[in-house]
Amino acid sequence: MNLLQTLPLALKALLRNKTRSLLTTLGVVIGVASVISMVAVGEGAKARIEGVFAGMGTNLLIVLSGSTRGGGMMGGFGSLPTLTWEDLEAIRREAPAVLRAAPTMMTRGTLVTDAANWTTGVIGTTPEYFDVRALRVEQGSAFDAADVKAMANLIVLGRTASDRLFGAGVNPVGRTVRVRAVPFLVLGVLQRKGQSPMGTDYDDTAIVPVTAFQTKIQGGLQKYIGGAIAVSATSAADTTRAQRQIEAILRDRHHVTSGTEDDFSVRNLTEIANAQQQGTRALTGLLAAIAVVSLLVGGIGIMNIMLVSVTERTREIGVRMAVGAKPWQVLAQFLVEALTLSTAGGCLGVGLGIVAARIVSSRFAFPFTLRLDMAALAFAFSGVVGIVFGLYPARKASRLEPIEALRYE
């Protein structure tokens, strides 16, 4: 008799007590199902956060100018323009980890058509901005460098702004809106991006060439960029490097010596995203840990039933030993029974976990993410639970003395 032959023995023994076997596996089923669904929910939350940050722009950094300081009042970053067009050029030229950089000037302005008006954030920038903020033009096109140079009166609208001004579903390309009484030709409409985590509508926006912004919406061309510089790093891993390079360049150009405060600041949005990710990861870990505890409880259930089974079947063990079962064969039989219970529970648990994860994902509008490695791990763990918690009852069975076992009432 070899190990393979113990499997049909174990199955037969388990099928003799169908209800009990089923109830015993239930603990493991719930344990494995909760591991899988909890991890899937955690992954879903993570994917959602990733999606949100990807929506803000790829590998995004924001360079802000310094703060005003007067009579003890700190104005906050951006209140004092310190960034110049030369700074922008230097960042583009001298920071190898920077892929693109775009000036970002912003004001609230009222856009007027013959039929409607709508107040929104108007952004003056260069064509790089579309790439840096991951904006796609759905209808029409974006403006280019030549348009910026020519100070062309062109405007690209967000979908919300377009809908408010021209009505939903209308293609506004080629029509005119007036900003501060200056007519701008609608060149394109951006693809919808949805909302930020704080509820800001990314689609409620209007983008014009930065030169037109300065001359026609603000007072005129200036030495300083009255706003920020949006930068995309060459890769997600390069964002910290890009930040350091920009800081070095700007300190040098602004003659900031060590010990004095920077007159600018660089915000690394990837880092913020990572911090959020870590939060979710911790939560996923916590949920998974609770699930693992329930799996252990399932294992204790198996041990309990196996102990009952060994006691109940003492005579059977005695008979088997009398006709020639060796101690290790008795051990193997009961161990395989425990293992069969736990892995059957594992199988059912994987199925149930996937269903539960789907339900939770759709309920909370998470993207459904099934981690196959986690499913495999939870299944393997159910097997380990079977062996660990089956070992004690199986050892107890194998150590019975045949004479006493045969006499057991």
Partner 1 sequence: MSAAPERPLIIEADALTKVYALGGEEFRALDGVSLRVRRGEFVAVMGASGSGKSTLMNVLGCLDRPTTGRYLLAGQDVSHASRSELAEIRNRFIGFVFQSFNLLPRTSALENVELPLVYAGFGREERRERARAALARVGLADRAGHRPSQLSGGQQQRVAIARAIVNAPSLVLADEPTGNLDSKTSIEVMALFQELWREGLTILYVTHEPDVARFASRVLVVRDGRIVSDVEQAPERAVPPRGSRAA
In the complex, which residues of this chain contact partner 1 (CB under 8 A)?
1-2, 5, 9, 12, 16, 315-316, 318-329, 401-403, 406
**DSSP structure class, residue 237:** G
Least Å distance, CB 30 to partner 1, is: 29
Q: What's the CA gap between 204 and 122, in Å, rounded?
A: 9
CA angle 358, 37, 54 (to 5 degrees): 70
Query: Cα–Cα distance between 207 and 213 in angstroms, integer?
Result: 9
Distances (CA, A) of 270 to 55, 76, 351: 12, 22, 36
- Compute the least distance from the CB of residue 370 to partner 1, in Å: 40
Nearest partner of 134 among 238, 57, 37, 197, judged by Cα: 57
- Judged by CB, which is closer to partner 1: 5, or 200? 5
Q: Which is nearer to partner 1, 15 or 365 (CB)?
A: 15
How many Å apart are CA 324 and CA 318, to the nearest integer?
10
Torsions phi, psi for 59 (to 5 deg): 50, 50
- The residue (of 133 and 396) whose beta carbon lies closer to partner 1 is 396
Q: Which is nearer to partner 1, 244 or 315 (CB)?
A: 315
- Min dist CB 316 to partner 1, Å, is 6
Q: From residue 272, give the alpha-carbon distance in Å to each of 56, 234, 279, 301.
A: 12, 18, 11, 44
* Shortest distance, position 31 Cβ to partner 1, whole Å: 30
Residue 328 or 364: which CB sits closer to partner 1? 328
Compare residues 305 and 375 and give the one whose CB is closer to partner 1: 305
Cβ neighbours for 162, distance < 8 A, ≥ 6 positions apart = 170, 172, 186, 189
Could you tell me where the beta strands, DSSP code E, fall in 246-381? Answer: 264-268
